[in-house]
Structure 1
Amino acid sequence: MGSLHDLWFILVSVLFVGFFFLEGFDFGVGISTRFLCHNELERRVLINTIGPFWDANEVWLLTGTGAIFAAFPNWYATMLSGYYIPFIIILLALMGRGVAFEFRGKVNNLKWVKTWDWVVFFGSLIPPFVFGLIFTSMFRGMPIDGHMNMHAGFSDIVNVYSVLGGAAVTLLSFLHGLMFVTLRTIGDLQERARKMAKRVIGVIFLVVLAFFAMSAYDTDMFTRRANITIPVFVLIVICNLLAVLFMSKKKDGWAFGMTGAGLALTVAMIFISLFPRVMVSSLKSAYDLTVANASSGDYSLKVMTIAALTLLPFVIGSQIWSYYVFRKRVSHKEPMTY
């Protein structure tokens, strides 16, 4: 049964890493609408670059959360109850963003459109930041007692370390989104996205380095599994440096891959550092939630494993197909859905 515990922790990790890689550029595109566009038409173009993908990308979040619920019910109960307000904020932001995509073009009124554009912006900015708060504070340690109840105050969730983690995830998503824009647009908008990415990547890299520096000081990220986390950190640095190189050579596809890899590896670092824990208790290490004490029974894990291995290839295949079908660049000269 222990191997199934480990397998499902890996699967949950992969689902959330996949979510941040895919939904990360969605968030980044939504954020960039306030900084990259000169008019409403260009905002339409940006929104249409992610139009065919954003809802499918969010399925990774639903699946990851569902996997935690089924495979690690104690983790789900402690995390969702302890982070109730942050998760509600994320949910409202995602709901608002989805509604904004659909509603912004329904009325030919400038005030109406601008209102929904701000909803798109904040609906793209808030989730990655709050997710960063949650995952980094969860890894740093929360006041979890021996009954797996979390009694967290504001400063337990929002502190210098978690804010830095939230900023790192948000900025990496923004950079990833800019590179996605270079892949999906043409002309002046594409060039502006490329130039903006070059301008901000240095600052973003410094924020990421600051986050890892504080992780080394404030957590056991680089001591508990140093044989894995240190090489992964080196890979993150290499990915960011390669992104700069590919941007300078206008190899947008490779640059997009590197920014996505940097974001995905940053999220993966948290899960790698957590294992075999799933939530760290700041009260006593004996109160940590682990893959063993937070998991479902043997039979449940076996059934879930069979179902996942059977269905997952079809889900991944359908999403790959959708990206292939909608691979064409978006232009204001052609009909747009949003």
Structure 2
Amino acid sequence: MNWFTHENLALIFAGLTAFAVLLYAILDGYDLGVGITLPMHNEEWRDTAIASIGPFWDANETWLVLAVGLLLVAFPSAHSAILKALYLPVAVLLIGLILRGVAFDFRAKVKAHQKIRWDWCFKMGSILAAFSQGFMLGIYIMGLEYTSVSLLFACFSGVCVVAAYALIGNNWLIMKTSNALQLFAIRRSKQAGTITFGGILAVCLVNPLVNTNVYEIWSTPPFASLFAAIPLVCFAMFVLGYQVLKRLPLEDDKGAWLPFVMTIVIFCMCFFGLAVSFYPFVVPNQITLYDAASARDSLMIMFVGSVFVIPVITAYTFVAYYAFRGKADNLRYY
């Protein structure tokens, strides 16, 4: 039996694209979050915060490139429809990412009194990139349509994604720093968590109203009881995470990793919830992933390449995080 049918390959590449998007949201999400919450009133804290993401932030964006590349080659018609609708916010995203990259390098090369300007650029670039991603998510949920209501929801979604990235970014700092900066991150994490929770509730309420098949998917047995675990786990992580934050820091820095791991679970549950809601559509209510997929021969060639490329990227990511494990050191330039 040939398991590599056109339908199965389309499903495999949809899974790989989703995997890349999720890893990007988690990995680049926390370093964007560090930029968003960068403490502008304390230069030493800023140096430590940036040092905590220094070995990782550039490589984290590899997953965005991979996701867009997979979407382009495996689902070209969907790529065209999505990018056509999101052209301007994608341009804003790229501006934000470029601003972050320039600021990261220039802050190390300018005179001491000018470094604050580039730190502001790094912070604003992070906010701009995060907001544009949230805006695109809001427009996508609203069916890629631009109306006054969808624009309002997209802007609200943008604010909530900024808060979500700030949440995971602060939880990264809780895990990677100590003393006063860690206490600062704990306070900011509580604030960001409240906004993030409100944003998730709003998406849960709006999504069934906009996409007619969502309510049916989440309420039809036998999968309805299984899908119910997704919001329950998400809610539990918010409650438990807040309780953990109230008790941190503990002696010997025990449990400092818990908020970050709990936030990863929240991100995964939200992503799975959206995937379940939209399946099998890759363009909401318009194009299914099976209709958008490239020809079987093209998918098969790309599958062979993916078997080699994706494990290498994953292995490199694992090695980098293992090599730079532990608390962040003071920032030094050579």
| Distance in structure 2 (CA, Å) of the matches to 1:265 and 1:275 | 15
Name 2:234's counterpart in structure 1.
236
Q: How many residues align?
A: 317
Counterpart of 2:264 (choices 260, 280, 303) is 260
**Identity across matched positions, percent:** 26
Name 1:326's counterpart in structure 2.
324
1:29 aligns with 2:29: no
Q: What's the Cα RMSD here?
A: 2.1
Structure 1 contact 20–264 (Cα < 8 Å) conserved: no
SS in 1 for 2:187: helix
Structure 2 contact 130–161 (Cα < 8 Å) conserved: yes
Instruction: Describe how 1:12-51 pairs up with structure 2 within 5 A.
Output: 12-33=17-38, 36-51=39-54
Structure 1 contact 135–270 (Cα < 8 Å) conserved: no
Q: Which consecutive unaligned segments of at least 5 residues does structure 2 have? A: 1-5, 219-223, 249-254
| Distance in structure 1 (CA, Å) of the matches to 2:161 and 2:30 | 11
The one-letter code sitting in structure 1 at the alignment partner of 2:174 is T
Residue 37 of structure 1 deviates from its aligned partner by 4.8
Instruction: Describe how 1:92-107 pairs up with structure 2 within 5 A.
Output: 92-107=95-110
SS in 2 for 1:278: strand
Q: Which consecutive unaligned segments of at least 5 residues does structure 1 have? A: 144-152
Counterpart of 2:298 (choices 297, 300, 323) is 300
Counterpart of 2:159 (choices 159, 167, 183) is 167
Residue 213 of structure 1 deviates from its aligned partner by 2.0
Q: 1:324 to 1:18 in 2, by over 3 A?
A: same
Structure 2 contact 281–288 (Cα < 8 Å) conserved: yes
| Distance in structure 2 (CA, Å) of the matches to 1:115 and 1:221 | 48
The one-letter code sitting in structure 2 at the alignment partner of 1:323 is Y
The one-letter code sitting in structure 1 at the alignment partner of 2:122 is V
Name 2:87's counterpart in structure 1.
84
Q: 1:199 to 1:78 in 2, by over 3 A?
A: closer
Residue 244 of structure 1 deviates from its aligned partner by 1.4
Name 2:115's counterpart in structure 1.
113
CA deviations on 1:205-255 (whole Å, 9 max, x unpaired) are 223222322223333474142136533222221221221132234322111
| Distance in structure 2 (CA, Å) of the matches to 1:154 and 1:328 | 47
Which has the higher mean CA deviation after the structures are superposed, 247-256 or 195-204? 195-204
Structure 1 contact 220–273 (Cα < 8 Å) conserved: no
Residue 301 of structure 1 deviates from its aligned partner by 0.9
**What is the TM-score of this pair, normalised by structure 2?**
0.88
Q: 1:133 to 1:221 in 2, by over 3 A?
A: farther
Structure 1 contact 194–247 (Cα < 8 Å) conserved: yes
Q: 1:200 to 1:63 in 2, by over 3 A?
A: closer
SS in 2 for 1:223: helix
Which has the higher mean CA deviation after the structures are superposed, 196-205 or 61-70? 196-205
